Amino acid sequence: MEFNLIMKKDFYEILGISKSADAAEIKKAYRKSALKYHPDKNPGDKEAEENFKLAAEAYEVLSDPQKKAKYDQYGHQAFDGSGGFGGGHGGMNMDDIFSQFGDIFGGGFGGFGGGGGGPRRAKGSNLRIKVKLTLEEIANGVEKKVKVKRKVQAKGVTYKTCSTCNGQGQVMRVTNTILGRMQSASTCPACGGSGQILDKKPSEADSQGMVQEDETVSIKIPAGVVDGMQLKVSNKGNDAPGNSIPGDLIVAIEEIEHELLKREGENIHYDLYISFPEAVLGVSKDIEAINGKVRIKLEEGIQSGKILRLKGKGIPSINGYGNGDLLVHVNVWTPKTLNKEQKQFFENALNDEHFIPSPEKSEKSFFEKVKDMFS
């Protein structure tokens, strides 16, 4: 039976921050205390070790919004008997602290981190694949199933604690220099830092106990992706030996060019060709849009070069801010050969006032149209 008679220090006090500190301040304060009391910096100092553990406990609670709210309301009582923060401060051991707050130690402890550091979980390498998508798939979003060859730990493979570093992942090296004996920690050459080495493996596994396996991975691709964009599927890359986490699967998007539609960001361009009589008399046309045909009506006397904008018939924005447009470019097709009668008709029309160009002021010039398209 253990009695907890010692008044526990306030978590905010431990980290030296006020109750109004935000997440970033809490993290910063913890990093500072952790660096100050880190066992590597204070070898054999029990008080530093206690402070190190206390800071970790404080951070565990204050970095979690739910736990923090509970602590703010009930203080230490909130966690009595809950297992994690019961009597004394034996709640966390060094391994917990290092594995839980690895992200905080990651950058700052590169230089040291021997003694209490323990092994780091190795991460497997990333795999890369290309996925080709049609414009329709890009516009609607799609789920793709792809086959990848992943390196995974073979069935029946076992690992044992590395005897070179006793599972620490690092070894202390003593070198004699002109300044005297220098001690430094370096990654264990026998296990590569994982603290584990291969024990038993089946014959088909490689020297690290790994085999290649086909796996079908389902990838949800959101609407609006762009050629060259890379998506990450976490933990679907290669595994690494021992107690490790898999790498990621990096998916590069490749857009298959559409036969008729040209993509420009979120907008789609379509070149429509109409005949000379259609331009003169007006016509209805079915336009190939992304999700099926769209009927448009061209008024009589429509000019070549006119751009019709079909709102929202383009590609959705990847950020979910609506759709682009479909821009239909009207091109009037001029016949290259005529029969005798037709030729006669146009020869007569040459000096006819109906055929003399006279653009109305309301018709925008080419430059105004271009300006309009990008606004």
Restricting to residues 190-229, name those near Zn ion by CB under 5 A.
190-191
CB of 192 to Zn ion, least distance (A): 8
| Cβ 309 vs Cβ 329: under 8 Å | no
Residue of 188, 251, 268, 287 interacting with Zn ion (CB under 5 A): 188
Nearer to Zn ion, 186 or 275 (CB): 186
CA distance 200 to 128: 30
Whichever of 54 and 165 has its CB closer to Zn ion, that residue is 165
Token couple for 134: 């049609």
Which residues from 23-62 bind Zn ion, rule CB under 5 A?
A: none
Ligand-binding site membership of 283 (annotated): no
According to DSSP, the β-strands at 230-233 and 249-255 are antiparallel
Annotated binding residue at 188? yes
The stretch among 128-136, 189-197, 273-281, 337-345 that binds Zn ion (CB under 5 A) is: 189-197
CA dihedral 169, 172, 173, 178 (to 10 degrees): 140
CA of 333: how far to CAs of 261, 273, 278, in Å?
A: 19, 6, 10
User: Which range touches Zn ion (CB under 5 A), out of 183-191, 230-238, 281-289, 333-341?
Assistant: 183-191
Q: How far is the CB of 179 from Zn ion (least distance, A)?
A: 28
Exposure string over 157-182, b if 16+ CB within 10 A, otherwise e = bebeebeebebbbbbeeeeeeeeeee
Rounded least distance, CB 221 to Zn ion, Å? 41
Task: Give least dist CB 191 to Zn ion, A.
Answer: 3
DSSP character string of 84-144:
TT-STT-S--HHHHHHHTHHHHHHHTSS---TTT-PPPPBPPPEEEEEEE-HHHHHH-EEE
166 vs 218 by CB, closer to Zn ion: 166
Closest approach of Zn ion to the CB of residue 223, in Å: 48
26 vs 198, which CB is nearer to Zn ion? 198
Q: Nearer to Zn ion by C-beta: 197 or 268?
A: 197
State the CB neighbour count (10 A cutoff) for residue 242: 22
Stretch that binds Zn ion, among 22-30, 34-42, 184-192, 231-239 (CB under 5 A): 184-192
Shortest Å, Cβ 123 to Zn ion: 17
> Which of the stretches 76-84, 86-94, 154-162, 203-211 binds Zn ion when contact is defined by CB under 5 A?
154-162
Stretch that binds Zn ion, among 3-11, 15-23, 181-189, 216-224 (CB under 5 A): 181-189
Q: Give residue 154's identity as a one-letter amino acid code.
A: A
Shortest Å, Cβ 175 to Zn ion:
19
Handedness of CA 232, 233, 234, 239 (dihedral sign): negative
Which range binds Zn ion by CB under 5 A, 34-42, 187-195, 241-249, 347-355?
A: 187-195
Residues in contact with Zn ion, counted by CB under 5 A, come to a total of 6
Q: Is 165 annotated as a binding residue?
A: yes
Q: Which of 306, 309, 308, 311 is nearest to 364 (CA)?
A: 306
In whole angstroms, the minimum distance from the beta carbon of 40 to Zn ion comes to: 18
According to CB under 5 A, which residues from 157 to 176 bind Zn ion? Answer: 162, 164-165
Residues 6+ apart with CB under 8 A from 354: none
Q: How far is CA 208 from CA 90, 153, 154, 191, in A?
A: 37, 8, 9, 10
| Nearer CB in complex with Zn ion: 153/168 | 168
| Nearest distance, CB of residue 158 and Zn ion, angstroms | 16
Q: Is 122 in the site for Zn ion (CB under 5 A)?
A: no
Q: Using alpha carbons only, what angle is made at residue 302 by residues 297 and 306, rounded to the nearest 5 degrees?
A: 90
Residue with Cβ nearer Zn ion (207 or 337): 207
Q: Which helix (H) or strand (E) holds 219?
A: strand 210-221
Taking the C-alpha atoms of residue 18 and residue 13, their distance in angstroms, rounded to an integer, is 8
Binding residues for Zn(2+), by number, are 162, 165, 188, 191
Residues making contact with Zn ion (CB under 5 A): 162, 164-165, 188, 190-191
